Amino acid sequence: MAIGRFEPKHASGVGKLSEAIRIALDEALTALAESFHGLTDEQFWAFPLPGRHNVVTLAEHCIQCLDLYACEVQGRPLVFEPAERFDIWNFSAEQLRPRMVDLPTVPQEQDRVAELGRAIMEHLAAASEEDLRLPNRRSWWFQEYTDRVRADAYLRCTSHTMSHVRQIWFLRGLMGLDDTAGWPEQHWA
């Protein structure tokens, strides 16, 4: 479920795995873009909670994860070069905070989400239903997790993104940014 300004696709009549994955990815990308829509750059970069990450770090972390699991693990090139300063898997907020210089602006980040979304959907459209039920044997992820298939990688990054989107909305709330009048429609997938 995504609540927001941008219109995600709906899951009615889904008969193929690729279509279900496309809808899940669309929901996750839509929710990610909406999570920082309308913020000023200063709000995007702010640290409203001591010892925790900020919105830009969480958004970039989601972009890197989507790029990794929906592009690189699928056998396609990464859209963006990973940036260690947004690596919250391996570094704490305190370790990353000194690296928070020359950050992307909100419009730049919106463009990055859109560009990544186009690449992901293009890659997914090229995959057959059979492809989605098989591993990509050339990828490190499938060598490490031998029981997984390509659909698992797509679904992993959608649920991962949604968990961080909740954190972003929490940070917005801490900053008093609860635009309740701006989210008139609820979308279900």
Please say whether the beta carbons of 75 and 100 come within 8 A.
no
Question: 135-187: per-residue pLDDT in tens?
Answer: 999 999 999 999 999 999 999 999 999 999 999 999 998 888 765 555 444 44
Q: CA 11 to CA 8: how far, in whole Å?
A: 10
**What is the C-alpha radius of gyration for the chain, rounded to an integer number of angstroms?**
17
Please say whether the beta carbons of 165 and 33 come within 8 A.
no
Is residue 9 included in any domain, yes or no?
no
Residue 92, Cβ density class (10 Å: 0-12 exposed, 13-18 middle, ≥19 buried): exposed
CATH of the domain at 87: 1.20.120.450
DSSP string, 64-131: HHHHIIIIITTTS--SS---GGG-TTTS-HHHHGGG--SPPPHHHHHHHHHHHHHHHHHHHHHS-HHH
Is residue 144 included in any domain, yes or no?
yes
Is residue 185 included in any domain, yes or no?
no
What pLDDT does residue 179 have?
59
Domain count, the chain: 1
Nearest Cα residue to 134 out of 154, 161, 117: 154
What pLDDT does residue 51 have?
85
Domain membership of residue 141 as a residue range: 16-175
Percent of the chain past pLDDT 70, that is, above it, reads 86
pLDDT band at 2 (very low <50, low <70, confident <90, very high): very low
pTM, two decimals, is 0.86
Is residue 11 included in any domain, yes or no?
no
Q: What integer best gives the mean pLDDT of the chain?
A: 87
Is residue 132 included in any domain, yes or no?
yes
Is residue 73 included in any domain, yes or no?
yes
Is residue 91 included in any domain, yes or no?
yes
What pLDDT does residue 93 have?
87
Handedness of CA 7, 4, 107, 118 (dihedral sign): negative
pLDDT band at 13 (very low <50, low <70, confident <90, very high): low
What pLDDT does residue 9 have?
52
Is residue 4 included in any domain, yes or no?
no
